[in-house]
Amino acid sequence: MGPIRGFKRKKRAEKKVDQNVLAALLRSQPQPLDWWDDFSQRITGPLSQSKNPNKFESVFKISRKTFNYICSLVRDNMMARPSNFNGINGKPLSLNDQVAVALRRLSSGESLSSVGESFGMNQSTVSQITWRFVEAIEERGIHHLCWPSTEAEMEELKSKFQKIRGLPNCCGAIDITHIMMTLPTMDSTDDIWLDHEKNCSMILQAVVDPEMRFRDIITGWPGSLSDDLVLRSSGFFKLSEEGKRLNGKKVELSQGKELREYIIGDAGFPLLPWLLTPYQGRGLLDFQSEFNKRHFATRMVAQRALARLKEMWKIIQGVMWKPDKHRLPRIILACCILHNIVIDMEDEVQDEMPLSHHHDSNYRQQTCQSADNTAVVIRENLSLCLSGKLTS
């Protein structure tokens, strides 16, 4: 399977997110009230000795409300095919049991054997359940990861971005992170996956909104590729270059100068009419330094989103041991969808997590010298306007 690129929204999923949530919850069948009481009593091994093993949130890092919604999303797919998923006690695993196993595997990053020991099943069962869940959440939950589909939704997004540090008409913040891997020693493609820090990794590029929600992602490319090349290989780049994205309302700055829609990114990306990057070098003028400060504060949402993704779904935070390079992109996608679901459900558990922007520790900042002439003018006009030096 090739790299996972940005996804088009299915027609039947074009309703607002809150309507999808409501509809799915209404469709869901009520679960036995004592499911968690029974399940928590079956937890064994190291997990049973950990802090608060009987508290649902401490085991899965999401609320019961979010858990029930996820179950409603994947129910049809996971129950459509017959399975022989049984616990060590020989009893068939319910839908809730299976979702619990998959979520624990994805959120804890623990090994198959460790998860199996905790929940009373063998490694093979944990692996099969997790993959079936990944397939189901990819198909049923993809509407949670989409570009704004209406003008009203985009205007609300731009308004929230402007409230951060005053950047008008900004539609997103883009950033890249690395998913660590350890490949088999006999893999002849090892060098392709070695990034500029000499780590074996897979790249995830994400465009994020003001609430740290992923709006577009591409993953699957090897870590050896530069941020610039990954961007240019993405569907987002093609759509933006063709004017099919970031082509909405312009805003007037002053002196008849208009500002189109754009996203922001760090110095590793090229400066483009629809992608504004910070000024580079020393001895910057006051209005350039002021722009960089506003730019940095605004794009922090992307860094925080990627840091939260890795913190909450630890299967992609540490080193993936000999991963299937064809399946790993889909696991990353599933984690990004789950990240968005937690935000869409307004899950109170996320409020208890610390905010960090360190998602690629020990990685140096890449720099790209590519700059479009039109983009240079756009950035300068915006910078002068923000500093009050572009008057009407």
How many domains in the chain? Answer: 2
Cβ atoms of residues 203 and 292 within 8 Å: no
Q: In the prediction, which pLDDT does 166 show?
A: 96
Domain boundary among 96, 111, 143: 143
Domain boundary among 93, 127, 143: 143
128 and 151 within one domain:
no
Q: In the prediction, which pLDDT does 243 show?
A: 96
223 and 131 within one domain:
no
Residue 321 lies in a domain: yes
Alpha-carbon distance of 289 to 296, in angstroms, equals 11
Q: In the prediction, which pLDDT does 19 show?
A: 55
Residue 112 lies in a domain: yes
Residue 14 lies in a domain: no
190 and 114 within one domain:
no
pLDDT tens digits, the chain, 392 residues: what are they? 446 655 444 434 444 444 555 555 555 545 445 788 888 877 877 777 666 655 888 888 899 999 999 999 999 999 887 777 876 666 788 899 999 999 999 999 898 899 989 888 889 989 999 999 999 999 999 999 999 999 999 999 999 999 999 999 999 999 999 999 887 765 656 688 899 988 899 999 999 999 999 999 999 999 999 999 999 999 999 999 999 999 999 999 987 889 999 999 999 999 999 999 999 999 999 999 999 999 999 999 999 999 999 999 999 987 777 777 888 999 999 999 999 999 999 988 877 776 677 788 888 889 999 999 999 999 999 999 999 877 64
159 and 129 within one domain:
no
The domain of 78 spans 31-143
181 and 115 within one domain:
no
Residue 8 lies in a domain: no
Torsion sign, CA atoms 154, 156, 160, 166: positive
Residue 266 lies in a domain: yes
338 and 232 within one domain:
yes
Q: In the prediction, which pLDDT does 120 show?
A: 85
Domain boundary among 143, 163, 192: 143
199 and 112 within one domain:
no
Alpha-carbon distance of 155 to 260, in angstroms, equals 13
177 and 38 within one domain:
no
136 and 274 within one domain:
no
298 and 155 within one domain:
yes
382 and 366 within one domain:
yes
* Half-sphere exposure (Cβ direction) of 186: Cα atoms closer than 13 Å: 0
Residue 49 lies in a domain: yes
Which H or E element spans position 220? strand 214-222
329 and 201 within one domain:
yes
Cβ atoms of residues 91 and 146 within 8 Å: no
Phi, psi of 242 (to 5 degrees): -85, 0
